[in-house]
Structure 1
Amino acid sequence: MLPASRRDFLKCAAGLAVGSALTIPGWQSQSVAGTRENKGKIFKSNKGGFIGSDEAGTVQTLEEYKRLGFDGIEGESPGLNVAALNAAKGKVDFPVHGLVDSIHWKQRLSSPDPAIREAGLQGLLKAIHDSKAVGGTTVLLVPGKVTGPDETHDDVWKRSIIEIRKAIPVAESQGIKILIENVWNGFCETPEQMRDYVDEINSPWVGVYFDIGNVRKFGKPEEWIALLGPRIGKLDVKDWGVKNGFCRLGEGDVDWPAVRAALKQIQYTGWATREGKDKSLADTAELMNELLDL
């Protein structure tokens, strides 16, 4: 049986609840009579790390996302002008659902250098406070990177858990969840490893920020979704193929109907955020609508 706090997390970690037809090779819409199955269940977002640098520019950005039918946007910390972003949000009425801890690759929580780990922890704490300040609910975190004999898979596992646990009381006090992203960092490249890693942390304030495209290199995202289940707090939306790498949504090797079925099976509701580029922002909005049935 899972520890008590993990059971609590699995009960409440479904995420936040808040059509045009395209021709995509190898895929047909499952929508019936224009009804989108995930409309009102999965909410469309985009990475917008540049937001918040100044009020006027951010207003224009948020207006464009809103016009195209996005439900929200995700930013980055540090480097965020909280006051400018909140002023822009007030004018446009458009949510920032969370932030990415943008220093996690260099100031890694898995570094063999204690000073670097401390810098990484302080960056995570700042991202938590910034996310709260702009109305977010999460911080995306890459917990470390396997680099060699001084930073092995076991090192990343042990060192990052120690640092993340230091941040949990702050995350709880701010009401911000720390979500671990699966990336190409040599760490937790099977769903069983990711499950066990998150479960060892054993906190309702730590879950998974599941990247659909990142995992396609190692396996099938629908299988990861089924195993991780309600540990998944939010989704990053990418496509990836053996022949074309990261690519336009719908043109890689991700089986989108299978992904939708897996998300339905775990009763996922929450944010799905596009990371990467399609033909245009409008193209991204339409592709997400089709592939996720929004």
Structure 2
Amino acid sequence: MYRRTLLKSAAFSAAAAATSTVASNASAGEFTGKIKKAVKLHMATGDASVLDKFRMIRDLGFDGVETRVKLGKENEALVRSYAQASESTGLPIHGVIHSSNPDLVGAIDQAKSLGATSVLHVVRYDRKISYLRNHEETKQIIRSAVDQAEKQGVMILCENVWASYLIEPMGMARFVDSFDSPMVGIYFDVGNVVRWGWPQHWLEVIGRRAKKLDIKEYDLGVAMNEGMREGFRKPLGEGSIEWDKVRSELTKIDYQGWATAEVKGGDRARLAEIAAQMDRVLDLA
């Protein structure tokens, strides 16, 4: 009798485990466990403290956050508050945003102090000088910081933006390859390329140079009729981006890493909306 009961119990447990696994697989998206979802800290608007914003972002299901670089003694207290909030909530700061500020070494050191793995760098385009001079000077800014990036283990990731420079994938790939360093890569902005091309075509070319993703939508119809910047107004998944093709290319390069929303922020309800939209377009749930 004991053996019979034991066998029945074992069979029930196995069936329950199998059912649980099926249910888990059914609720998981293609990129669940592969893509980590984040927001820029400045997208959490309002007067809440840094700590409360970190708590809210964590509680909404985001895996991490990205902060803006703040250099100088006048910003030391603010930067410490970022580190303390991250430690207190367990929400990692995965990267820092530095735009086109040439002090990349300072940004790298701040990223390291916050536990971040990257500096988002916008390669400038100074139209007051020649194109070739701009090309060499922007490369020198990055080249002068590569040793520090390698020492600290922090990547310099160049973002594709609307600066009318590095606006097609082969040029961006060649630019990044010229540094011959694993610490220099691409912060691929999915929405920014739609003005000139398609994100799936960029991913086909840049491949694993894409170390992190910025997530936003773009609608060409709105842009052509209401103004180019208005194209970003559409919610994620409701514009011109073919997200299924983007996901297909991400699968081909076995992308595993961070995807950070870069859209209009707001209060808790707005951030929850962004989280749900990211889940849908990236197949995270």
Q: Same fold (TM over 0.5)?
A: yes
Please list, as runs of the form range in 1=range in 2, the aligned pairs for 1:1-294 lying within 5 A after superposition: 33-49=26-42, 57-78=49-70, 81-102=78-99, 104=100, 107=101, 120=102, 122=103, 124-148=104-128, 150-152=129-131, 154-244=132-222, 245-247=231-233, 248-277=235-264, 280-294=270-284
RMSD (Å), alpha carbons: 2.0
Larger Rg: 2
Q: Which amino acid aligns with 1:225?
A: L
How many equivalent residue pairs?
242
The SS at the match of 2:221 is: coil
| Structure 1: gaps spanning 5 or more residues | 1-30, 108-119
Following superposition, the deviation at residue 151 of structure 1 comes to 4.3
Structure 1 or 2: more helix by fraction: 2
Q: Tell me the secondary structure at the aligned position of residue 83 of structure 2.
A: helix
Q: Residues 50 and 223 of structure 1: is their aligned pair in 2 closer, same or farther, counting only changes over 3 Å?
A: closer
Alpha-carbon separation, structure 2, partners of 1:94 and 1:242: 35
| Matched letter for residue 282 of structure 2 | L
Q: Is the 8 A contact 2:43 2:264 kept in 1?
A: no
| TM-score of the two chains, using structure 1 as the length reference | 0.78
Task: Give the C-alpha shift of residue 174 in structure 1.
Answer: 1.0
Q: Which runs of 5+ in 2 are unaligned?
A: 1-23, 223-230
Q: Which amino acid aligns with 2:254?
A: Q
- Ranked by relative contact order (alpha carbons within 8 Å, sequence separation 6 or more), the top structure is 1
| Structure 2 residue identity aligned to 1:288 | M
Q: State TM-score, norm by structure 2.
A: 0.80
Contact 1:141–1:179 (Cα < 8 Å) also in 2? yes
What's the % identity of the aligned pairs? 38
Deviation per residue, 1:120-148 (Å, 9 max, x gap) = 2x2x2111111100110000001111525
> Following TM superposition, where does structure 1 have runs of at least 4 consecutive aligned residues deviating by more than 6 angstroms?
none
State how far apart, in whole Å, the 1-side matches of 2:280 and 2:79 are.
Answer: 34
Q: Is the 8 A contact 1:145 1:151 kept in 2?
A: no
1:90-125 Cα deviation digits (max 9, x unpaired): 2211100010104x1xx5xxxxxxxxxxxx2x2x21
